[in-house]
Amino acid sequence: MRRFRILAGLALASICLFSCDKPGGNQGNKTPQIEKGEHLADVTYQVNVYSFADSDGDGWGDLKGVTQHLDYFESLGVSALWLSPVQAAMSYHGYNVTDYNAINPKLGTEADFKDLINQAKAKGIGIYMDYVLNHSGSDNAWFKSACANPTGPYRDYYVLSENPTADVAAGKIDNYGGAKAPGMGNWYTVTGGSTGYKGRLHFLVDMSKKTVTVTQTTATPQSPCTGSPKCWLWIGDEGGVGLYETSANIFEITIDVDTSWGFLIRTSLTTWDGGTKWGGDGSGLTFGTPYKINNTTAADITFGGTALYYFASFDKSMPDLNYGPYDKASESAAFKDLAASADKWIKMGVAGLRLDAVIWIYQNQTAANVAFLKSWYDHCNATWKAGGGQGDFYMVGEAWCDNAEQMAPYYKGLPSNFNFYYWYTLKDRIKKARGDDFAKTVLYFRGLFKAQRPGFIDAIKLTNHDEDRAAEDLGKSLEKEKLAAAVLLTSPGKPYIYQGEELGYWGNKGGGDEYVRAPIKWTKTGTVPTTALGGKVDNSMLSASISVEAQSADEASLLSVYRKFSQARNTYKALARGEISEVSSSNPAIALWTMSYEGQTVLVAHNFGAGVVSVNVPGGGLSAEGILVSNGVVTANDTSLTLGAYASAVFAQ
C-alpha cells in the first residue's frame, strides 16, 4: 500500500496561504495573489498581441498594452509570455512575415519591444517570440527579389521551379524532404512567364526572313484588314485577324489582344493543310526580337519566356522557405539569414522561441524536420549561452501531428513541444465523466517523450489560437472549465494558458479564426480593441460579468480558480516539478495521482463527473487541514475522500 509522505513544512504553509480555502469552497477573503519571487510553476501565457490590450486607442492591441498589464500576469503566476508574431507582417495575425528583423509598426516600435522584455524580466517573466520558419509572407522583399530575378541571391530562399512536375519526379525539390509528393500545399504561378498575354501589341511578320516580331506599344489600335489579306494572326478566342501588307512580304498590325494560349500565323483561313499554319519551336518569344517561325512543326507561339512556379504549404500569400537538403540545412542562405534575425532578438533578451508549423518545413517528413530543428535549436542555444543565458535556451515546437506517437520524435530536435493530445484526452474524459485513467494517459505521453529526450519539457495546454475554445468544447459549463483549469495546473509539464481561457471565453472557428482570438475585457464597462479582428467579435460574450474586473472581485470565478491553482503550483515544488504516479481510483469519475519531488509528495484528486462521489484512497492520512488548494466541495477523513461535482483538491498528507 502506498503511503503519502507528510509534508510538515508545507502543511504549515498551507494553513497560512490557504486558510481562506477550506473544504466546502468557503472562500471569504480576497483573491489570492502570487507573491513576487521564484516562479516554480513554469506557467506560460499565450498572448495575441493584436487583441490583448490597446495602449493608444487605435483599436489594435500593442506591445505597450502588454507591458502595461504585467501585473496581470504576475497575478496568474506566469513566468513567460508567448507573444503572437511581432515582426512586420501582411495580416493581423502576423504569420506572414515581411521582415524578420523589424517590429510590426501596428504593434509598436523596437524600443517598445525592448521595454517589454526588460520590464517583464524585472518581474521574472520571460518573453517568447513566435518564429515562422516554414514560410514568409509573399510581400517579403526576399520573395519579391526571388521572383523578379531568377539568377539573384534570393532565388534559393524559396521553392521555385520552372517545371514542378518534372522536378518533383526527379527528386529535385528539397522542401519535400526526399518525398515525391508533398504532404500539403500547392504550386502557384509567379507573375508572367506563362503562355498568354493581355494588352496592346504590334505584330510584324517578315515572310522572306520567316520571322515575327512582337512589340508592346501604346499606339492606336487598328481594325483588322478586311480586303484579301495574304496573312492572318490566329489569336485568342477570336480566330483570324487580317494583317496589312505594308511592303513586299511584310505584314503588320497593332491590336489589343487577350489570349490564354499564345498565337499562330496563318496564310489561309480555309485550311490548316499545305503549310498554311506557321508557328514556333516551342520556346517563348521575347518582345522586340525577331522570332523564327516555320510551317512544318509549328507550335503555338507563347509570350514572355519561361514559366515559373512557387510552392506554398498553406496559402498563396505564404510561400514556403527553402533550406536545401535537410542534412545541410544550416548551410543554406535562408537558414543563415533567419538565424541572424533570431540572434538579434535573443541578444536583445528574448527568453525563448515558439516555432510555427514545424512539421511542414520538410512536408511532414519527420526525419528531415527533426534534423532541421536540431540545427536551428543548436544555433539559437549557442547564441543564448554566448550571451550569458542561464541553462539551455527554451524552444517549443508546434509539431501538430495526428497523435502523440507521431509527434514524439520531434523531441529529438527540440526540448519542448505542444501536447495537443493532452487536451484531446482531457476534454474527452470530462465529457465522459471518466477520470480514473487520466493519470495513466499522462504517464503514457511522458513515456513516449522521455524515450526520445530524457529532459523533455511537456508543453501541456487546453486550446490555442487555432482551435475552438476550451469553453466551447465543454458546452460553456463553468464547472467543467474550472475542472479543466485545475487539472492543467496540477499536471506535470509546462502549462500554457491561452488568452481569454482564464476568463471562460468561448467561440469556434466556424465564423472565422477571429472568434477564437477575442480581446481581453479588462473592465466591466470599458471598450475592447477589435480593429485587428475586423470587428469579428462576439459582443454577447464580452459582457461586464466576464471582465477581469468582475472576476477579480469574485472568489468563485474561473479567473480566481486559475490564480489559486497557479499560486499553489508556484508554492509547492512537488506540484510544480514532481514526477507523476498513478493512484488507483475506486470510482471511474475520480482521477487520482501523486506528484513527488525531492522527498515531497502531494496527492491530486479531481472529480470528472457531475455526481458527488466518495472514494477510498490507498494509504489514507487525508484531512481538511492537509488541503493545499481546492475547488468545489471537498471533504476528507483519513482514507475517505468525497468530491462534489467537478471538484478538485491537492493534499499534503
Active site residues: 356, 398
Do the Cβ atoms of 27 and 21 come closer than 8 Å? Answer: yes
What burial class does residue 36 get, using C-beta atoms within 10 Å of its C-beta: 0-12 exposed, 13-18 middle, 19+ buried? exposed
Distance between CA atoms of 625 and 637, rounded to whole angstroms?
10
Q: Which is nearer to Mg ion, 53 or 652 (CB)?
A: 53
**Which among 53-61, 445-453, 530-538, 627-635 is the span making contact with Mg ion, rule CB under 5 A?**
53-61
Q: Where are the beta strands (DSSP E) in 524-585?
A: 579-582
Site string for Mg ion, 443-462 (x = CB under 5 A): --------------------
Q: Which is nearer to Mg ion, 58 or 71 (CB)?
A: 58
Q: Is 527 in the site for Mg ion (CB under 5 A)?
A: no
Q: Which is nearer to Mg ion, 113 or 187 (CB)?
A: 113
Q: Where are the beta strands (DSSP E) in 133-182?
A: 160-161
Do the Cβ atoms of 243 and 232 come closer than 8 Å? Answer: yes
Nearest distance from residue 52's CB to Mg ion, in Å? 10
Q: Which sign does the torsion angle of CA 186, 192, 194, 196 carry? A: positive
**Which among 55-63, 88-96, 202-210, 578-586 is the span making contact with Mg ion, rule CB under 5 A?**
55-63
- Cβ neighbours of residue 160 under 8 Å, at least 6 residues apart? 146, 147, 150, 190, 308, 309, 310, 322
Q: Which is nearer to Mg ion, 106 or 354 (CB)?
A: 106
Do the Cβ atoms of 427 and 487 come closer than 8 Å? Answer: no
Number of C-alpha atoms within 13 angstroms, CB side, residue 412? 13
**Which among 49-57, 417-425, 571-579, 609-617 is the span making contact with Mg ion, rule CB under 5 A?**
49-57
* Total chain residues near Mg ion (CB under 5 A): 5
Nearest distance from residue 653's CB to Mg ion, in Å? 50
C-alpha cell recorded at residue 524 = 466591466
Q: Is 112 in the site for Mg ion (CB under 5 A)?
A: no
Do the Cβ atoms of 369 and 361 come closer than 8 Å? Answer: yes
Distance between CA atoms of 482 and 648, rounded to whole angstroms?
9
Distance between CA atoms of 213 and 280, rounded to whole angstroms?
12
- Give 500's DSSP letter: T
Distance between CA atoms of 641 and 405, rounded to whole angstroms?
35
Q: Which of residues 209-238 bind Mg ion (CB under 5 A)?
A: none
Q: Which is nearer to Mg ion, 62 or 398 (CB)?
A: 62
Residue of 183, 52, 106, 6 whose CA lies nearest to 621: 6
Nearest distance from residue 48's CB to Mg ion, in Å? 13
**Which among 46-54, 549-557, 566-574, 608-616 is the span making contact with Mg ion, rule CB under 5 A?**
46-54
Nearest distance from residue 91's CB to Mg ion, in Å? 16
Interior angle at CA 636, CA 631 and CA 641, nearest 5: 85
Q: Which is nearer to Mg ion, 107 or 205 (CB)?
A: 107
Distance between CA atoms of 646 and 245, rounded to whole angstroms?
91
Nearest distance from residue 159's CB to Mg ion, in Å? 36
Q: Which is nearer to Mg ion, 56 or 378 (CB)?
A: 56
Nearest distance from residue 131's CB to Mg ion, in Å? 23
Nearest distance from residue 549's CB to Mg ion, in Å? 20
Nearest distance from residue 7's CB to Mg ion, in Å? 47
Q: Which is nearer to Mg ion, 59 or 352 (CB)?
A: 59
* Among the listed residues 42, 54, 320, 501, the single contact to Mg ion using CB under 5 A: 54
Q: Classify each residue of 408-418 as buried b or exposed e, where b means 16 or more C-beta atoms within 10 Å of its C-beta.
A: bbbbebbbbbb
Q: Which of residues 58-77 bind Mg ion (CB under 5 A)?
A: 58, 60, 62
**Which among 48-56, 277-285, 444-452, 602-610 is the span making contact with Mg ion, rule CB under 5 A?**
48-56
Nearest distance from residue 54's CB to Mg ion, in Å? 4
SS3 288: coil
**Which among 57-65, 207-215, 379-387, 466-474 is the span making contact with Mg ion, rule CB under 5 A?**
57-65
Q: Which is nearer to Mg ion, 60 or 456 (CB)?
A: 60
SS3 424: helix
User: Which residue of the chain is nearest Mg ion when measured via CB?
Assistant: 62
Q: Is 56 in the site for Mg ion (CB under 5 A)?
A: yes
Q: Which residues bind Mg ion (CB under 5 A)?
A: 54, 56, 58, 60, 62
